[in-house]
Amino acid sequence: MSKGKAIIFSAPSGSGKTTIVRHLLQKLEYLDFSISATTRSRREEREVHGKDYYFLSVEEFKNRLKNHEFVEYEEVYDGNFYGTLKSEVERLWGLGKHVVFDVDVKGGLKLKEYFKEDALAVFVRVKDLSVLEQRLRHRNTESEENIEKRLAKAEYEMTFENGFDATLISDKLDQTLETAEKMVTEFIFPKNQ
């Protein structure tokens, strides 16, 4: 099987990484999305198993861990596990695609460690936490308590920015998306080759 590259986008919740990843998948036909496994409940009825996430029970997730089926995993919140299945990466590489990951910060660092020079790890962030707070509140999907937890976690996650290959400021959407396209294209097709 030919081995592709790994493009990793990580960010505190609400920073815009999912919007960036969706844009790249629409624009760059050589990319495909790595669907993460999770034990969290579906947020909306629109979320589909095998498309948005692989929704697993905690027991099933832990069984797959025992069988070494994950590239990486993290217990992001108490009882909520997220992870990248090896079979998912192999499936996409088998299709001749480069794999795009939309993962939390710790997951992003673990993926970079796993894929090494075959990965571009991008840290997406907003200018400051007040912007992030506005975005989280605008979603209307979280309780006040969860918003406070996410903001505290975001502040902590910002301390890992230097562990990534590049930082992308999620500010003006058009400019952010254009910069993301350029970063990915230059990584996959370096000019010196």
Query: Distance between CA 170 and CA 22 in Å, rounded?
Result: 14
Contact 158, 125 (CB under 8 A): yes
**Is residue 116, in this structure, part of any structural domain at all?**
yes
Q: Please give the pLDDT value at position 78.
A: 82
**Is residue 80, in this structure, part of any structural domain at all?**
yes
**Is residue 46, in this structure, part of any structural domain at all?**
yes
Confidence of residue 1 (pLDDT cuts 50, 70, 90): very low
Query: Distance between CA 166 and CA 94 in Å, rounded?
Result: 27
Query: Distance between CA 15 and CA 132 in Å, rounded?
Result: 6
Q: Please give the pLDDT value at position 119.
A: 97
**Is residue 17, in this structure, part of any structural domain at all?**
yes
**Is residue 97, in this structure, part of any structural domain at all?**
yes
If you search the block for the tokens 């894929």, which residue do you land on?
115
Q: Please give the pLDDT value at position 193.
A: 56
Give residue 54's domain range: 6-188
**Is residue 1, in this structure, part of any structural domain at all?**
no
Q: Please give the pLDDT value at position 133.
A: 84
Residue 48: CATH number of its domain? 3.40.50.300
For 83-122, the pLDDT digits (tens) are 999 999 999 999 999 999 988 898 899 999 999 999 999 9
The total number of structural domains in the chain stands at 1
**Is residue 193, in this structure, part of any structural domain at all?**
no
For 158-187, the pLDDT digits (tens) are 999 999 999 999 888 899 999 999 999 999
**Is residue 78, in this structure, part of any structural domain at all?**
yes
Q: What is the mean pLDDT of residues 27-56?
A: 91
How big is the CA angle at 140 (ends 15 and 79), to the nearest 5 degrees? 75
